[in-house]
Amino acid sequence: MVIILASLFVKLTNANLVKKLGVKKMLFGASILTLLGAILMLIFVLIGFINVWVVLVPFSLFNAGAGLIFSNMSSVIMVDFKSSAGSASAVYGCVQILGSVIATAIVAVISEQTQLGLAIVLCALAIISAFCLFFIKWDK
Q: Which of 6-10, 25-29, 35-39, 132-136 shows the highest mean pLDDT?
A: 35-39
58 within 8 A of 41, measured Cβ to Cβ:
yes
Express each pLDDT in 26-61 by its tens digit: 999 999 999 999 999 999 989 988 788 888 899 999
The dihedral region occupied by 37, where left means phi > 0, alpha psi between -120 and 50, and beta the remainder, is alpha
Check pLDDT > 90 for residue 111.
no
pTM of the model: 0.84
How far is residue 45's CA from residue 91's CA, in Å, rounded to a whole number?
35
pLDDT score of 132: 85
Confidence of residue 106 (pLDDT cuts 50, 70, 90): confident
80 within 8 A of 63, measured Cβ to Cβ:
no
User: Side chain identity at 138, as an amino acid letter?
Assistant: W
User: Side chain identity at 129, as an amino acid letter?
Assistant: S
